[in-house]
Amino acid sequence: MYDASAFCGSWAYRQVTARFLEELISQLKEAGLAGAAISPVEAILHPEPMTANRRFLKECAACAAAAAAGTADRSRAFAVYPVPVIDPNLSNWEEQLAECMALANSHRLPVPAVKIFPNYHGYEIDLPALDALAQSLAAMGITLCVQLRMEDERARHRTVNVPPLSIPDIVAFAGCHPELSILVCAPYMRDLAELNSAPNISVEMSFVESGHLLRDALRHMTASRLLVGTHAPLFIPAVGVAKAKADVVEAEVFAQISTDNFMRLFGAKH
């Protein structure tokens, strides 16, 4: 099983139990995961994301080197899929993307996806620079991850006033970029049916809740576009894993949700 949305680093509004990549990997392994798409959480609130991206990619390289040198436990190998953060609202977004690719290449790391935070970075989905970024990613075969939220709106710090993203706008954006694979991160159950209308949109389930979670999610979103997501370390990884096992489904459906869909979005570039 693979995790489509996890984070590494310190979050300003909550103490987390895994600030460093090795700590996060240990938690995800303990939950039974074989790999994860991970982003640097500090990049969300920094004035620009590259300081956090550089540190994160260096940390990924160190973990990969330890595994290659045999200093890591090979019997419990874990695949890290780095997902750097890009802010297209900054004029240097092309340099951000180019530097992330260059750093990853220098360390022999994959960059299967990049993640954006439109509401935290102060722009709408119709930002012209985002269209340009989408075109670049589609040409490179890189997945675009769109983070809807980092916290339940009811539990946010009183100083945080981050507006919600428009689901119809995301669907319209996806329609303008049919060749781009898009992963929407942290949607609610109520968002799934509308997101399902765009064939190039997949979703992860870290914020999806209901009594019969998996059965209800599959009623709104096709199995081929539903992924496990833990939102670790802000959420407990075992909860995200349990969502994929919340209801009995056919073996083929479970394989899609737990592994196959992840590999389609992230694995081909690893």
CATH at residue 164: 3.20.20.140
**Are 97 and 86 in contact, with CB atoms under 8 Å apart?**
yes
pLDDT band at 163 (very low <50, low <70, confident <90, very high): confident
Q: Where do the DSSP E strands lie in the chain? A: 2-8, 35-40, 79-82, 113-116, 143-147, 182-185, 201-204, 226-227
Residues 27-86 have pLDDT tens digits of 999 999 999 999 999 999 999 999 999 999 999 999 988 877 775 555 458 999 999 999
Residues 208-267 have pLDDT tens digits of 998 789 999 999 999 999 999 999 999 999 999 999 998 889 999 999 999 999 999 998
pTM value is: 0.95
Please count the CA atoms within 13 angstroms of the CA of 74 that sit on its side-chain side: 6
Residues 175-199 have pLDDT tens digits of 999 999 999 999 999 999 999 999 9
Q: Among residues of the chain, what percentage have pLDDT more than 70?
A: 94
Domain count of the chain? 1
Residue 177 structural domain:
2-269
